[in-house]
Amino acid sequence: MNLLKHGIRSSLLLLIVFLSACGNNESSESETNIKRPDYVIVHQLAEPASLNPSNSRGSASTMMYYNLYQELINADFETMEIIPVLAKERAVFKPIEGSDWVEMLFEIKEEAVWDNGKPITGEDIAFSLKTIKVPQTNNGHKKHAFEYIKAFEIDKENPKKVKFICESYMLAEQVMSDLHILPRYLYDEANVLKDYSIEMLSDTAQKATLEADPVLIKFAEGFNSVKFQREVVKGSGPYELVEWEADQRLVFSKKDNWWGDALKDESHWFQAYADTIIYEIIKDNSSALAALKSGRVNTMFAIDPKDYLEQCKTEAFQKKFYTFEPYMYAYDYIGFNLSRPIFDDKNTRKALAHLMNTKQLIETACSGLAEQTACFSHPTRPEQLSDKVKPYEFDITKAKEYLTKAGWGDANNDGILDKDIDGVNTPFVLKIVTNNENNRRKTACSILKDAAKEVGITINIETPVWKQFLPQIMQKRDFDLFVSGLISSPFDSDPRQTWHSESIGNGSNHFGFSNEKVDNAIDALRIELDAEKRNPYYHIIHEQINEEVPVIFLITQRERIAVSKKFDNVWKTTMKPGFWAPGFMAK
């Protein structure tokens, strides 16, 4: 972007923020005087911890870095089919003679270029994969997903043609939607990773050597630094980050002469009509809804269900806003810290599962716009759901029975259950943690706390902000229970990242769940290429998790979205966050 245009946009941003603060956002006179396309201003509860797609996690960062980065393939948010993005077409697979490995072939679009005009090539694809394979980079949640890729080749005649050498893997192509392509020339200016092949970084026999390698350690220190997490955040996508005001807003501006504009008829990934997208951080949903009505923001999702039904379905509101409630590919759950001796007996965990009144959560926190779930497979995938797996229903009598089976009593008659654990009389006192910005999850904590109190269990609630919540759960593991959620997709899911014992400590298995039957089923599932033949493995996994209760599954819900009718080309999708903001067109 040239400096003049950047300066104009910055000035306009200051003006719109000033007008917002004065409550005059809806003033047609002020908007006429500005003479500009309307900004898309999306409410966000919390800022992302990072915008580096190799390292970041969480729905906030995912939504934002779709503005910045691209992938070889991804989902069509309207049809839920896999479509090419940077690639010319979907993957071509060729078996490797004499082995059960395959070649996965892609060719990058001729039009695809970086901001400096240089073409996107296989070198950038290789580098982006290396940032995940390097053992010291902070992306343990992704490393397992790419283990199936063992080597990588760039065509000598055409640097836009690439070949992944892979083990047979059920999601070989789908996983590429999570490989966000980075410009090597910006993120590794000295090209220090050039001497480290994908084959070398994938060699488990060299793990110790690679972990001690000073060159990789130094690279990772830079890549994990604030510079490449929050400052240098550039990709081949339609927008660039022009402002990040901590806990206030992030501003993305459309690039001049973006290469993808010529392909706008191909898919929504190339439809970037909004001139500027602002993510306005408002940490309270009620305040955010007031900001939506006043015009401080014009796009909002995750609206409080009660407010949504009572305020967003009125005739006056409907005249100004589109509203829709797509199903979400996501679920909430309560996770146990299974390293705590207090949870060693699964009867204790079953008791707590029966103390969670999920139906009350659905009515009070979701106003009925949700349903109880019993496993990680989405309700829209019934073929993966075992008939033997049922949700744990709220039942205090059953909870007491399980507590008795687990040996809990009240030896000192103080009203709090206790039990001898490793020779120490231990009171049944727990700490449950969730992020402060999510009222629904805080309600779940309160519901469980109140029911637990009835049977003699004390639960203390902690609600750190999102940026503190993540490390408390993932690195420090400072919790007995935590309430969080996971985003799924319309595709088959690979349970390894969350449910395999090898993902304890370096994946998303924050519970510390280890089950041999589950591990074996996951290992078999991942190499089964026939979708129908995968279903029995899902059944085994769900049945074992249901029996062992490493988590209490809560709900999958409908999203609640409102978008100003200032815009055309507004449509709903089941993919998070439920809309495609870059495609909004000012009327």
CA–CA dist 321, 299 (Å, integer): 9
Helix, strand, or coil here: 96?
A: coil
Mark whether 320 and 335 lie in a shared domain.
Answer: no
Quick one: 574 and 530 in the same domain?
A: no
pLDDT lower than 70: segments of the chain? 1-37
One domain, residues 37 and 161? no
Of 315, 391, 339, nearest in space to 546 by CA: 391
Co-location of 136 and 198 in the same domain: yes
Q: Is 231 inside a domain boundary? A: no
Provide φ and ψ at 500, rounded to 5°: -85, 145
State the residue range of the domain holding 252.
3-51+237-326+559-586
Tens digit of each residue's pLDDT (9 = 90 or more) over 61-70: 888 989 999 9
Distance, in Å, from the CA atom of 275 to the CA atom of 290, rounded to the nearest integer, reads 25
pLDDT of residue 574: 86
pLDDT given at position 202: 97
- Residues 396 and 487 both lie in one domain: yes
* Rounded Cα distance, 207 and 36, in Å: 54
Alpha helices in 22-114 (DSSP H): 28-34, 59-65
Per-residue pLDDT, 411? 92
CA distance 576 to 328: 7
Whether residue 171 is contained in a domain is answered as yes
543: nearest Cα among 509, 497, 495, 486: 495
Q: What is the CATH number of the domain that holds 536?
A: 3.10.105.10
Query: Are 397 and 524 within one domain?
Result: yes
Q: Read off the tokens for 116.
A: 């400096």
Residue 36, SS3? coil
Q: Is 353 helix (H, G, I), strand (E, B) or coil?
A: helix
Tell me: do 144 and 185 sit in the same domain. Answer: yes
Domain boundary among 164, 186, 206: 206
Residue 214 lies in a domain: no
Q: What is the pLDDT of residues 369-426, one digit of tens each?
A: 999 999 999 887 889 999 999 999 999 999 999 999 999 999 999 999 999 999 999 9
Indicate which CATH number applies to the domain containing 168.
3.90.76.10
Let me know whether 152 and 256 are in one domain.
Answer: no
Q: Is 395 found in the same domain as 506?
A: yes
Q: Is 270 part of any domain?
A: yes
Backbone angles phi, psi at 571, to 5 degrees: -140, 155
Of 312, 310, 316, whose CA–CA distance to 299 is shortest?
A: 312
455 is a domain residue: yes
Domain count, the chain: 3
Distance CA 181, CA 113 (A): 12
Q: Is residue 61 part of a domain?
A: no
Q: With beta carbons less than 8 A apart as the criterion, state whether 87 and 73 touch.
A: yes
| SS3 of residue 274 by DSSP | coil
Location of structure tokens 């060159």: 215
Residues 202 and 313 in one domain: no
The pLDDT, as a whole number, for residue 89 is: 98
Inside any domain, residue 134: yes
Q: Are residues 163 and 242 in the same domain?
A: no
Residues 163 and 80 grouped into a single domain: yes
Q: Say if 211 falls within a structural domain.
A: no
pLDDT at 76: 94
